[in-house]
Structure 1
C-alpha cells in the first residue's frame, strides 16, 4: 500500500508552518497547499507529502505515543541540516545526528506540537 501523505494535528498553525517550512526546505520540499486550517508540503519529484492541520473535531491536537514519521535524507549532511533546521524553528531534540547500531545515520526531533520525526540515510560504504 503506497503512502500518500501524513498529517499531524497542530495547536498553532503559524508556528507549525514556520517549523515545517524550515525542515521541508532542508529536504528540498516546499509548501504545496494552504487553507485557513491546514498547510501541506510536497517534493518536486513527488512521493509522500506531509501536512499539519487544526483538528477538524475542534478538540486539542495531541501527538501519538510511539508514533513517528521518518523521512529519507540524501546523505549525512542533509540529516544534520534537517535536524538543525528543526531545532532552530521551535523543535526539540530526540536524538542527535549520528550512526545508529542498526547501521543507518539518523537524527530524531519533535515539532512544536510534540510530534516525533526522523531524518535518516544509509551511509556510503567505503
Structure 2
C-alpha cells in the first residue's frame, strides 16, 4: 500500500510552518497548499507529502508515543543538513547524525510540537 501523505497535529501553525519550510527545503520540497487551519508540503517528483493541521476536533494536538515518521535522504550530507535545519527552526535533537547499527546513517529529531522524525540514508558500500 503506497503512502500518500502524513499529517501531524500542531498547536501553532506559524511555528510549525517555519520548521517544515526549513526541513522540506533541505529535501528539495516546497509548500503545496496553505490555509488558515493547515499547510502541506510536497516534492516536485511526487511521493508522499507532509502536512500540519490544527486538530479537527478542536482539542490540543499531541504526539503519539512510539510514533515516528522517517524521511529518506539522498546522502549523509543531506541527513546532516535536515537535522541542522530542524534544530535551527525550533526542533529538538533525539539523536545526532551518525551511523546506526542497522547500517543506516541517520539523525533523529522532534518538531516544535514533539512529533518524532528521522532523516536517513543507506550509505553506498565500498
Q: Flag as ranges the 4+ runs of structure 1 deviating above 4 A.
A: none
- Consecutive unaligned residues in structure 2, runs of 5 or more: none
SS in 2 for 1:15: helix
Cα deviation, residue 22, structure 1: 0.1
Cα deviation, residue 101, structure 1: 0.3
- State the match for 1:62 in structure 2: 62
- State the match for 2:48 in structure 1: 48
> What do the CA deviations read for 1:29-84 (whole angstroms, capped 9, x no partner)?
00001010000000000000000000010000000000000010000000000000
Cα RMSD between the aligned structures?
Answer: 0.4
Q: How does 1:93-108 map to 2 (within 5 A)?
A: 93-108=93-108
- Consecutive unaligned residues in structure 1, runs of 5 or more: none
- State the match for 2:21 in structure 1: 21
* Whole-angstrom CA distance in 2 between matches of 1:118 and 1:88: 16
- State the match for 1:5 in structure 2: 5
Aligned: 1:118 with 2:115: no
Q: How high is the TM-score relative to the length of structure 2?
A: 0.99
